[in-house]
Amino acid sequence: MMVLIPRPNIDWVSKRFIFFTLSGLITLAGLILLPTRGLNLALDFKGGTLLQAHFDKPTDISTVRSALEKDGIEAQIQTYTERNSFAIKVKGSQDSYKETGERIKTALAKNMSGNTYETERMEFVGPAVGRDLSKKAVMAIILSLFGIIVYVAFRFNNLLWGAMGVVALGHDVFVALTYLSLTHREVDLVIVAALLSIAGYSINDTVVIFDRMREHIHLNPRMKLKELVNTSINDCFGRTLITNLTVVGVLVILYFMAGPIINDFAAVMLVGSICGTYSTIAIATPLVYQWQMGGKKEEEDPGAGSQLQKPAAADKEAQEAADSRYRQKMAKRAK
């Protein structure tokens, strides 16, 4: 069997406080940025001016966008190709929608002088996501996080694992929000979809390593908790890295080549996918170890089986058989 990435032998647990400090600093930055700088909410959340223009000559959306950007106007543009019309949306308050409409008209007339147009309609459009829908969305997210805790707790027979998985998931989404606040990228419904995708990607990666931890517990219940965590992460490291590099490769292409509409989505997904891999290795599983050990020293580690669930073998003969199976399985993986 060809091995693309050799299995490492890294002591991740011993580096956990470095990871916790790094994540703590990023979280602190987010707690400062989000209340002070806030998020740049798009028209989907704030509403704005809609102007629909019909051009005499055929044109494309990039030309219209360029004409508006020359006058510093950022807009969402929808094209009606068969009619050679464009719906131009610019966020803003209802009080200033007429003024914004005039700015759009001036920019089009000045920067597209060779192509006259007719204004088909100009009006204020309310936010696509109202207060009621926002509340329902927040409630849905809270319920989904609770569902993840229940699912992971049921699957792995340990509530702690579910809780730590959600902590890592929340960490990744929070880092993505911090990035959005820092870069002042617009947050629209597409970005919301990206944040939900990050959450799903993060918990999936965590469940894979948790599954390997459970497997090792059954094979060798006397394994120390520190060895359990390190072995499980190292076993899955190649799979995790290959999966992440595949996703990152696609996102890099989208970021540079897919145009401005997809650019923000790709940027947020890039941050989230990298952070999701990091949090699985450096946050979720080390937190399980830290919580289980409490104030105990490493030499007081009584073993993964006794801490996390009942040992698969209770008597001496069964335990020796479990140890033998574990050694055989590890020997096969080493080949």
Is the same domain home to 103 and 192?
Answer: no
Q: Give a yes or no: residue 43 inside a domain.
A: no
Is the same domain home to 178 and 282?
Answer: yes
- β-partners of residue 182 are none
Highest mean pLDDT among 19-33, 121-135, 181-195: 19-33
Residue ranges of alpha helices (H) inside the chain are 16-36, 43-46, 61-69, 97-111, 131-156, 159-183, 189-219, 225-257, 260-279, 285-293, 304-308, 316-334
Q: Kindly state the percentage of the chain with pLDDT values over 90.
A: 14
Is the same domain home to 82 and 195?
Answer: no
* Band of residue 315 on the pLDDT scale cut at 50, 70, 90: very low
The pLDDT of residue 148: 79
Is the same domain home to 232 and 298?
Answer: yes
C-alpha 106/C-alpha 53 separation (Å) is: 12
- Examine the fold and report which residue of 125, 147, 169 is the final residue of a domain before the chain moves on: 125
- Examine the fold and report which residue of 107, 125, 143 is the final residue of a domain before the chain moves on: 125
pLDDT score of 312 more than 70: no
Is the same domain home to 155 and 244?
Answer: yes
Segment 236-282, tens digit of pLDDT: 888 888 888 898 999 999 998 887 778 889 999 999 989 988 988 88
Q: Give a yes or no: residue 156 inside a domain.
A: yes
Q: Torsions phi, psi of 120, nearest 5?
A: -85, -35
Of 76-80, 236-240, 283-287, 313-317, the range with the lowest mean pLDDT is 313-317
Residue 117 is part of which domain span? 48-125
Contact 312, 322 (CB under 8 A): yes
The one-letter amino acid code at 314 reads: A
Is the same domain home to 292 and 168?
Answer: yes
Is the same domain home to 239 and 97?
Answer: no
Is the same domain home to 95 and 120?
Answer: yes
**Residue 236 CA: distances (Å) to CA of 162, 168, 229, 271:** 19, 17, 11, 21
Contacts for 134 with CB less than 8 Å, ≥ 6 apart: 45
Highest mean pLDDT among 4-13, 22-31, 91-100, 108-117: 22-31
Contact 210, 156 (CB under 8 A): yes
- Residue 235 has, within 13 A of its CA and on its CB side, a CA count of 21
The pLDDT of residue 271: 93
Is the same domain home to 232 and 304?
Answer: yes
Q: Give a yes or no: residue 327 inside a domain.
A: yes
Is the same domain home to 73 and 27?
Answer: no
Q: Give a yes or no: residue 164 inside a domain.
A: yes
C-alpha 306/C-alpha 12 separation (Å) is: 22
Residue tagged 């997809």 (tokens): 262
Q: What is the domain count for the chain?
A: 2
Is the same domain home to 73 and 101?
Answer: yes
The pLDDT of residue 313: 42
- Examine the fold and report which residue of 125, 147, 177 is the final residue of a domain before the chain moves on: 125
Is the same domain home to 21 and 142?
Answer: yes
Q: Torsions phi, psi of 59, nearest 5?
A: -145, 175
